[in-house]
Structure 1
Amino acid sequence: MDHAVEDAGGTATLFELCARVVNANMEKLEQDVWGLPAVILQGILPLLNIYYLERIEQTAVKKGLSTQSIWCKLWNDIMKSKPSRFGTVKCWRKKFLEAFFHNVLRGILKVSSDQRLNDQRFSPLVHSAPHVTELTICNKQQGVSELTPPVLECLARSVESLKFLHLRSSDQATQRSLRLLLHRLVHHGQVNRVSLLSWPSPDTNLLLLILSVSAGVWQKQASCPCTLCLKKSLNLNSDELQEKRPETGLLQSSSSADLSNMHSKNNVEEDMGSQSALLSLQPLNISHSVVTDCSDHSSAENPPRRVSRSTHSRKATCHKSLLPPNTFGSKVASTSRKNLKSGADIQDSIRSNPDDLYDFIFSVPSAGEGEALNTNKGYKESANEKPSEVSTVPLFDDLPPVEERRVISPIPDGAHHFRSVRALNLHNVPLTLSSCHFLCHLLRSWVSLERLTMAYNDLGANIFLIVEALSALSRCPGCSLSMFSMSDFTTHVPTLDLANTILTTFPSLQLLSLSYDLENHNEKETSEDISAEFKENQLKQLEIRFPQDPLPVGHLVSVLKASTFLLELSLDNATFSCTEDLKCVLRTLAEHNKALKRLSFHDMKMTDMHNEIVLLLNSSSLEEIKFSFCRLFEKGTDEFLAAFVGALRRNPSVKILKLCGNRLGNDGLAALADLYNPDSLSSVHYLDVSSNCIKPEGLLHFAKKLERGGKIKLRHLSVSQNLLDRDPVMAQEALQSLEGVCCVVSDNWDSAQVFADHVNGM
């Protein structure tokens, strides 16, 4: 069998010829092949196409054979690209088949291009779908219309995350297919996370469709019914379907009869594939109660004018009855009044039961009823009575007199509530006032939502609507939100005041991340009116990127003292009025945040914080420290450098130390080498000293000191963007010496060119 013979393809062994014949007849020989001895099977595996190679996986594993090298070769031959994090691919089989599915779906890869991919007995999409855990849909949703029921069935069992990337408008047929895809994977599948990324000009139809399905809202379509829904309908009484919401246990108050009355004059299309029903309904303003105009001139002869809160409103303030007291200052409220603009007129008013959750959210009493809803307590007050102080500040004022109008729910009649996702990510998806209202309606009762990420949504003053919706969500039984992240270019409310409001609303929040790049107000000035202290919370991770304004240190210290369970803290771009303020923050961390494990300060001036930094190192159990571009050693003295290294030598808990951009220099790097002396207790195994003006001679001196240190704990060293190009030969000698000790990350940084660019930019 080892003899070479001639065939059409050149010289091949007899074994290879037999293996090719077996491969060509796998349809008949598959079971026999599975029973072959491992030594023979090992030679056949590389010749199988991807379909039989995938089917034989379990048999190969039982015989002690691995197919990973074969799948890796397939990736290199067919995908022709280096995957991200190349060295950490745990399963090349899954990696290949998941990418194969997406490329075939989008028409990028033709199975006829390679015989290892082409087999008329198999469907490429059905075969690879079980390996897709994250389904990515791009551009005009290419290929979605080709997802047959068998493919959807496979995806429903495997897909856990849906990602929409660079979406563009599509035709009606594609949107109908996408609608069914979303319903099958979210409502009847395993999808727990939905991400919308890089969608600068979102299509309203498509955006509302994705949001509503993600929240579990579904309008059944008579023309194209869901077979799973039909089966469920046979087993459940129609009354039960109207009264109970799966998973939440909340009563579905907006019954078909109530919604039918709301839309008696305008029948809603059942086909939500085009989302015409949603677009025909003006979303109700997030403020869902009627308030009175509390003018100082009101009296018994001139009762306060009552207005309906709606998208018709032109100005807004932060309602003290809807948000925790003493959070937003009066100047911030005036900002919101300037930014919230009016929408289209809404229609006739309807009666609603304030005790009913959904009617309470989606409707308001008519102007002729002479009643107002108190949003805190849910009861009605007579318009002739003086409202309580807590409800006298209108969220929307200066409205013109209105006739009897109706506020229409954005959820069409006949809508049902199904399974909803646990994580929603909206990144670079601008939200208009209308779409923001719609999202807020969903958020109010989205009790399964655990993680909400909103980044660069151009919210402006609409941020108040989001916070108010989350406040309503926090009052729902079973609310699961534990992580909230919000980023944008500008902020219409001081960052720490926003943090106070959110933490007051959600004291059980585990992670809070707020990031604003540019200032749109004076943080210190607007915060002078705020005297509220942060209440005790359950935060484990706090990340804040501040605008340029000086921070009120009292607020920052307050949140740190209230967050006694904090494990991770990240402060970025924090500016203080004086050095004593930052010293106070560092002392607070050392005294009150004993559980802190990871600390990150970025772009903060810490030149004169020497004693406080040493105190923090001596009194904490930190495992990871990051001081990046903090000018830590700008005025570094030998005394501080020795104290800094000495504190680390005595600290066995710190394992990761990142000091990039702190002007460490050659002397500072040499001092850090003492961390690895035999008498040191330091456990630092990850060291980042990039961008620290280190020259080749300094790096070589560091390497020589490590060689004399004996057993070294250092496993990772980053020396990127230093001055190593000053003497390439010496730098190469130092790098080679270090590579024998640890993994070294370096680069070919041209320091002269960078300096020239810096001078030209001045």
Structure 2
Amino acid sequence: MRETAGKADQKNPKEICLKEICFHAVREHFTALGIKAVLDLPTPLITDLLPHLTVCQLDELQPELNQRGVSTYSGWAGILQDMCGPNNAVDFHTEEEAKHEVMRMLFTLVFYGFTNPFVKRNITNLNTPSFLWAAAKCIKHFLLITSLHKPLQSLTAEQRPLLNILEKRIRSVGVSQSIDLSKRKTQTALYVLHRLLDHGVAKKLVVHVQCPIVLAWLLHGRGSQYVNPELKILMHSKKENCISQAVSASADRASCSPGLDTRVSEHKDDQVIPCKRSKLDSVSVKEESGKANFTLDPKALCRTFTSCEGPSAEACPSGQIDCLEIRQCGSDSLRVLNSALPTFFCLRSLTLHSFSTLMDSDVLGLARALKQLSESSRSSLTDLNIGVLPYTKLSEILLDASPKVTSLHVEIQTVMWGPHFSPYHPRTAESDMSVELPLEKLTVKVAELQTDLHFITSVLRRSPHLTSLHIAGMRLPTGSSISQLLTTLSESNHCLRSLNLEDMKLSDCLPEILNLLRDCKLEELWCNDCRLLEKWSDKEGSLQQLVAALKTVPSLHTLSLAQNRLAKNVCVLAELFSGSSPSSVKRLDISSNFIQPTELLEFAERLRTHPPPHRLTLDLRKNPGDRDPDTWNTALKRLRPYCVLLVEGWKSTDTMVDHISNM
């Protein structure tokens, strides 16, 4: 291998084949060779080797390589490319981001026994305790799939040390399925939740299902002082039966089994003495007669599951949820949440999403609960994300009910039935319309026939501290223009750093765009699917004006003009880096612009004449490179010295509509 590295300049097919054979041998016999043998290789050879290693081998090598200044990014990126396929670009900037994505995707698949082509090909290397341990130390989110009982059950027995690791690392817990609290085997899932949410460091909860009683159990004692009556009755009915069960389980655990394979880590903090699992799957006489003898109380769960050397039930902590997401939020779940909200003082972030448009009464009930919470000095809620609202006015009601919110994200979709405003809800006083808002981030995604632009501009005028604005889908009445929005931004929002305008008409707003760019301090600008060139009579000249204005913004590092039908005019963008004051843009997204291979080649030639001062991340996805693959690949080759390219496969036969729209 050293000889091959020393003759890298010759690179004949035989050498390449020999190198591949050597890399495969290192992968297969990594344990026998030892980590030191790999680290003794020349750095260029190690870099070539990385994409051939397994996940666990990369994880083991990374700390030592980082000390030598060698990044394992190419290895993790290679795994992602193998997992996602050649037509998906790997869009991660650091090795830690790429590594986390690999571990996140693989942990759930391997732990629950799911398979995909990548897992099948690498099952020998992945279906091992060492992989689960390595992944558990990296991931931050744990998805609870209750229908797969055996994997969860293993966390209370032979894989209990893995649960200890998860308890220390997991920051976010997801509940993907309903949990039947009437069934005894539910205890396993509840215990895992208790360990992660109460004993562990997880403070974020993501609920993917519409299950009000489970939501009540998850919120119970974890932030709000509210006690759900139905849950209280259910827990009380179990309590009398659970005492004898806990005593029986404790006796069953009295003898620990030293013969279990514990897969204990080398680190003392990860070690735990295994024990026999209580016989939770046995059916008692009481269960057969219809009386369940199990508990829903977290502390009693600890008495049932915890080993004889574990913490006592008296030491059982109660966790706090500061970030809550409900992904299928219906009326029943909202009733539980609205009752808990007024005393949910530790809640910092709330996300509610429904597959269908929420009802007026549900949103107004939420607004009342938010108002009660905001009136307390102990309230911590700063982030609010709600969708889908039936009309824009409700956004204003929610905002007025939460005056301490610094980040608001709303999605609005017009419904074709029902009233457009509930007259019994108190309107905001005119004197309050000028009160300054602490908003720093605002996202409004709209699917309406006509959008209330006045609502958005009034909020912008009241938000002088706004740093991030994302507006999508805005449709205005005939004869109206988005220019009023841009003018408001220029006049009222001087702290703006990130502006994302999506799916709207900006072709008649060039003067306002240029004016905004003259005095702004933007760091990120997205104008995606904004039909920029649609009404420009001199498309190239107008685009040159825009480029000249962009070059005057020294803070700008991210620019996206995706889905704007730039086509042959894309060459003008190369002028961003020309002249004595080139743009500081480091990421340029020109995806989905119907850029032909010859046009990309011309862009590459111009960029070579005026190369960017920094290595440019260039997003070229969803452009018809297959129209002339040779020319397209030549253009990519000329761009690579200056750019990190994000490309993926394109099938022109699947995109005829886009082709016709550009004719």
When the two structures are superposed, what TM-score results if normalisation uses the length of structure 1?
0.59
**Separation in 1, partners of 2:519, 2:506:** 19
Asked if 1:507 corresponds to 2:406, the answer is no
Equivalent in the alignment of 2:567: 665
The Cα of 1:569 is off from its aligned counterpart by 0.5
Distance in 2 separating the partners of 1:436 and 1:600: 31
Contact persistence 1:487–1:516 (CA under 8 A): yes
Q: Aligned residue for 1:643?
A: 545
**Which runs of no fewer than 5 residues in structure 1 stay unpaired?**
1-12, 24-36, 231-267, 276-415
1:384-422: CA deviations, max 9, x gaps? xxxxxxxxxxxxxxxxxxxxxxxxxxxxxxxx9943211
Partner of 1:652: 554
* Counterpart for residue 273 of structure 1: 296
Question: Deviation at 1:498?
Answer: 2.5
Following TM superposition, by how much is the alpha carbon of 1:176 offset from its aligned partner in structure 2, in angstroms? 1.7
Q: Taking structure 1 as reference, are residues 520 and 475 closer, same or farther at Cα in structure 2, changes over 3 Å only? A: farther
Whole-Å separation in 2 of the counterparts to 1:721 and 1:96: 24
Q: Quick one: which of 691, 713, 725 aligns to 2:592?
A: 691
Distance of 1:615 and 1:571 partners within structure 2: 19
Tell me, yes or no, if the aligned pair for 1:161 and 1:191 is still in contact at 8 Å: yes
Match of 2:536, as an amino acid? Answer: G
Out of 467, 470, 495, the position equivalent to 1:567 is 467
Residues 136/586 of structure 1: CA separation in 2 closer, same or farther (3 Å cut): same
SS across alignment from 1:611:
helix
Deviation at 1:424, TM superposition (A): 0.8
1:630 aligned to 2:533? no
Matched, 1:148 2:46: no
Deviation of 1:487 (Å): 1.6
Measure, in 2, the Cα distance between the counterparts of 1:511 and 1:551.
Answer: 21
- C-alpha displacement of 1:167: 4.8
Equivalent-residue separation in structure 1 for 2:366 and 2:494 (angstroms): 33
Map Cα deviations across residues 500-534 of structure 1 (whole Å, 9 max, x no partner). Answer: 2233232221110001244447999999x987425
Check conservation: 1:504, 1:534, Cα contact below 8 A.
no
Out of 588, 608, 611, which is 1:707 matched to? 608
1:431 aligned to 2:431? no
Note if 1:90 corresponds to 2:82.
no
Q: Report the CA distance between 1:572 and its aligned residue.
A: 0.7
Distance 1:62 1:714 in 2: 24
Residue type at the aligned position of 2:643: C
Question: What code does the residue aligned with 2:655 have?
Answer: V
Match of 1:544 in 2: 444
Query: Would the aligned equivalents of 2:558 and 2:586 in 1 still touch at CA under 8 Å?
Result: yes
Q: Is the 8 A contact 1:504 1:535 kept in 2?
A: no
Q: Which residue of 1 aligns with 2:617?
A: 716
Code of the residue aligned with 1:686 in structure 2: it is: R
Shift of 1:714: 5.7
The equivalent position to 2:375 in structure 1, one of 472, 475, 492, is 475
Tell me how many residue pairs correspond in the alignment.
531
Say if 1:759 and 1:129 are closer, same or farther in 2 by CA, change over 3 A. closer
Native 8 Å contact 1:586 1:616 kept in 2: yes
Q: Residue 172 of structure 1: SS of its match in structure 2?
A: coil
Paired position in structure 2 for 1:452: 350
Distance 1:607 1:690 in 2: 19
Deviations 1:231-274 (A, max 9, x none): xxxxxxxxxxxxxxxxxxxxxxxxxxxxxxxxxxxxx9996639
In the TM superposition, what is the alpha-carbon distance from 1:661 to its structure 2 partner? 1.9
What letter matches 1:687 in structure 2?
A: L
Work out whether residues 557 and 588 of structure 1, in 8 Å CA contact, stay in contact via their aligned partners in 2.
yes
1:56/1:600 CA distance change after superposition, 3 Å: closer
- Residue 145 of structure 2 corresponds to residue 138 of structure 1: yes
> More deviation in 750-759 or 723-732?
750-759
Change (3 A) 1:652 1:504: same
2: CA distance, partners of 1:55 / 1:659? 37
Let me know the Cα RMSD of the aligned residues. 4.9
Matches of 2:511 and 2:126, distance apart in 1: 66
**Amino acid aligned to 1:471:** K
Distance 2:127 2:70 in 1: 16
Residue 469 of structure 2 corresponds to residue 602 of structure 1: no
Q: Bigger CA drift: 217-226 or 457-466?
A: 217-226
Matched, 1:212 2:112: no
Q: Structure 1 residue 602: deviation in Å?
A: 1.0
Q: Secondary structure at the match of 2:460?
A: helix
Shift in CA distance, 160/722, structure 1 to aligned 2, threshold 3 Å: closer
Paired residues of 1:216 and 1:418 also in contact (CA < 8 A): no
Shift of 1:453: 0.9
Shift, 1:556, TM fit: 2.0
List per-residue Cα deviations over 1:303-359 (Å, max 9, x = no partner): xxxxxxxxxxxxxxxxxxxxxxxxxxxxxxxxxxxxxxxxxxxxxxxxxxxxxxxxx
Find the residue that maps to 1:721 and give its secondary structure.
Answer: coil
Pick aligned residue for 1:175 from 186, 203, 207: 186
Question: Which residues of 2 match residues 170-209 of structure 1 at below 5 A?
Answer: 172-197=183-208, 199=209, 202-209=210-217
Greater C-alpha Rg? 1
Q: TM-score, normalised by structure 2?
A: 0.67
Q: Using the alignment, how far apart are the partners of 2:192 and 2:128 within structure 1?
A: 26
What are the within-5 Å matches in structure 2 for residues 19-418 of structure 1? 81=83, 88-90=94-96, 102=108, 105-107=111-113, 114=124, 133-142=140-149, 143-148=151-156, 150-151=160-161, 152-167=163-178, 172-197=183-208, 199=209, 202-212=210-220, 214-215=222-223, 221=239, 223=242, 273=296, 418=318
Secondary structure in 2 matching 1:571: strand
Shift of the 146–430 alpha-carbon distance from structure 1 to 2, 3 Å rule, reads same
CA distances 1:101-158 after superposition (whole Å, capped 9, x unpaired) = 6556535599xx8599779xx9x97897555532211251523233328444443333
Who is 2:253 aligned against? none
Q: Given residue 186 of structure 1, which amino acid in structure 2 is its aligned partner?
A: L
Query: Which has the higher mean CA deviation after the structures are superposed, 720-729 or 680-689?
Result: 720-729
2-structure distance, mates of 1:677, 1:166: 55
> Are the aligned partners of 1:523 and 1:551 in contact in 2 as well (CA < 8 Å)?
no
- Structure 2 equivalent of residue 676 of structure 1: 577
Amino acid paired to 2:143: T
**One-letter amino acid matched to 1:472:** Q
Q: Distance in 2 between matches of 1:63 and 1:627?
A: 38
Structure 1 pair 134/40, CA: closer, same or farther in 2 (3 Å)? closer
Q: Is the 8 A contact 1:686 1:715 kept in 2?
A: yes
Matched, 1:733 2:631: no
User: Which residue of the partner structure matches residue 366 of structure 1?
Assistant: none
How far the C-alpha of 1:744 sits from its partner, in A, is 2.5
Is residue 2:623 matched to residue 1:749?
no
Partner of 2:604, secondary structure, is: helix
Shift of residue 699 of structure 1?
A: 2.0
Deviation at residue 209 of structure 1 after TM alignment: 2.6
d(CA) in 2 for partners of 1:725, 1:63: 39
- The alignment status of 1:466 with 2:489, answered yes or no, reads no
* Post-superposition offset of 1:82: 5.7
Aligned pair in 2 of structure 1 residues 128, 619: CA closer, same or farther (>3 Å)? closer
Contact conserved, 2:591 with 2:620, CA < 8 A, in 1?
yes
Q: 2:519 aligns with which of 612, 619, 622?
A: 619
